[in-house]
Structure formats: C-alpha cells, structure tokens
Amino acid sequence: MPGQTQGAKRWRVPGRGWRWAGILLLVWLGLASPAAGRIDPYVSHYLRTTEPIELPWDAEGHMLTFTPEQLTDGKNRFQSACLNCHVGGSTLPAPNISLSLKDLRGATPPRDTIQALVEYQRDPRSYDGTEVSYGCRPVPPSWMDDEALRNLAAFILRAAQVAPGWGSNAIGGG
C-alpha cells in the first residue's frame, strides 16, 4: 500500500550490548579496585601494615591513625626527598646518628613522635638541639604541606619501629 512502509529490518550487531556491559564492568572494577592495589609492597611487607595503624603524635601519648596508603605516600616522599642521605634509615653525612628508634629517642628534643619529626623537618636542628643543622634542608610548607610531612614522618617512625635493619648503618654488608 502506498504511504505505508513495511516493518523495516533493523540490523543489530550480535553481542554489541554485551561489549558495552563488559566495558562498563572493566571501568567499574578499575574504579572499585581494593585499596591494597595502591599500597606499596614495602609498606605491607616490611612495615607490616595492611590496615590503619596508630603512631605516637606527641610526647603526651596522643596517637594519630595512618592508613597504608598514607604510609605509601610517606615512603614515596622519603624516596624523592630523603633517600640520598638516609639510605635504609642510615645517615650518610653523620653515620653515628641514624633514623633508628634509639637515635630518634636520643635526640634533643626527642624525635620519636610525628609532631617532633614534623617540627624537625620544618626547622632542622643539630642532634643536641643547640644549633641549626645545615646537613638537612628545611622543608617549607610550599614544598610539602603539613599532611604530606605527617605522612613522611609516619613512614620514618613506622620503619624505625619495625623494618628489619632500618637505621643499622650496615650498608653494603658492613
């Protein structure tokens, strides 16, 4: 009949809908992947951290919680800003003072809390606290904000607590 069209056949590509579903699934899996994928293996293995942990904030005993992702951020910052002088927690310019928990506690003032490490990094002082330390450059807020510096301090402190050989100054098996 004139003016009427026969039911036009629509061609469908077989599986086209499934392809889109597959693509969406892959995107969703990528966005919803577990946080463990963003945790550095060093943090999970050597720092034994796969869940949030508490570290000492100040000398009064207040604690601050850090996630494995924050420790990973701290590790990355350590690698980019501190590793040249502090390989494995040692201190190459001053081998008798490392980043071991014993040496951090022995400093004046002690540097065995997040707050103390952040303060030190903002204004480095000598080990006995009497003069400016020219061996370690100050970290201004324009370089690392407080959160970034806390993550860096958390990495150092956690490594000093549990990482095998951290601060032992036994570089090269010596």
Binding residues for heme c: 82, 85-86, 136
Burial 160-173 (b: 16+ CB within 10 A, else e): bbebeebbebeeee
Return binding residues. 82, 85-86, 136
**Among positive and negative, which fits the CA dihedral 34, 38, 40, 41?**
positive
* DSSP codes, 52-121: -EEEE-STT--EEEE-HHHHHHHHHHHHHHTTTT-GGG--TTSTTS-SSHHHHHHSSS---SHHHHHHHH
| Single-letter code of the amino acid located at 69 | E
